[in-house]
């Protein structure tokens, strides 16, 4: 039988058994099971968080697979959320993972409660809806978005997502590594928060490569 102290050994070395045990009582929702959602599931699904709900109405398409790391060619046309949940369960025997194969508007009517919500969607309208829902249930959420070689991350608590220009903008293209990079930053913020460590909230991090190929990080305080 696998023991938790063996499976989570490296994290226990980092912050001790008490903090690791604290994660087991936490419940999160990841909204979207695409590029960001797959990477978040890999990072957080094996972290010791007790319950993780994956939400996505869509199925796996061929053009998804290169950047959505939970999927293989054999998963084409399968429900994304279900595939990701099975991947998490196959890697971590201690996680309770559940798939919600529905859109966010339907999901938020279920009345579930969470310690943290993670945005892994691909449009501003859904993120605005996540922000409204999160504030209704008094739960923080972590925004993430990617385009080309660029990405943004923000831990939203008091500030409003309404500061963004809500439009139908669609990214022209996305590199796979930036998706994993932004999801990794989201996951690190999530773990620090859930483990009771300090997190800077309501500050937007914008990462991009300039014309010389240098990685630049800009920070912006978000208005309430």
At 99, which CATH number? Answer: 3.40.50.720
Structural domains of the chain, count: 1
Does pLDDT of 167 surpass 80? Answer: no
* Structure token pair of residue 93: 């025997």
CA dist 47 and 191 (Å) reads 8
Burial of 77: CB neighbours in 10 Å, binned 0-12, 13-18, 19+: exposed
Strands 51-55 and 215-221: unpaired
Q: What's the whole-number mean pLDDT along residues 97-114?
A: 97
State the pLDDT at residue 165. Answer: 67
Query: What is the pTM for the complete model shown?
Result: 0.95
Task: Provide the phi-psi class of 81: left if phi over 0, else alpha when psi is between -120 and 50, else beta.
Answer: alpha
* Structure token pair of residue 171: 């990214």
Residues 6+ away with beta carbon under 8 Å from 132: none
Does pLDDT of 5 surpass 80? Answer: yes
CA dist 154 and 206 (Å) reads 9
pLDDT per residue as tens digits for the range 60-85: 999 989 999 999 999 999 999 999 99
- DSSP code, position 148: B
| Structural domain for 160, as ranges | 4-221
Q: Which of 116, 105, 130 is nearest to 187 (CA)?
A: 116
């Amino acid at each position: 039988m696998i023991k938790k102290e063996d499976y989570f050994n490296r994290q226990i070395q980092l912050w001790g058994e008490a903090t690791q045990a604290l994660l087991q009582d936490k419940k999160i929702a990841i909204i979207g099971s695409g590029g960001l959602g797959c990477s978040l599931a890999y990072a957080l699904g094996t972290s010791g968080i007790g319950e993780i709900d994956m939400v996505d109405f869509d199925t796996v398409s061929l053009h998804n697979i290169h950047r959505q790391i939970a999927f293989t060619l054999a998963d084409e046309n399968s429900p994304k959320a279900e595939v990701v949940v099975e991947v998490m369960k196959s890697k971590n025997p201690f996680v309770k993972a559940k798939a919600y194969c529905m859109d966010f508007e339907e999901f938020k009517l279920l009345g579930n409660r969470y310690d943290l919500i993670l945005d892994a969607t691909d449009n501003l309208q859904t993120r605005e809806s996540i922000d409204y829902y999160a504030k209704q249930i008094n739960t923080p959420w972590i925004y993430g978005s990617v385009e080309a070689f660029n990405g943004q991350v923000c831990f939203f608590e008091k500030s409003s997502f309404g500061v963004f220009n809500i439009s139908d903008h669609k990214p022209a293209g996305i590199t796979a590594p930036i998706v994993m990079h932004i999801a990794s930053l989201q996951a690190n913020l999530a773990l620090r928060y859930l483990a009771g460590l300090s997190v800077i909230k309501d500050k937007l991090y914008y990462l991009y490569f300039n014309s010389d190929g240098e990685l630049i990080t800009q920070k912006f305080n978000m208005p309430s």
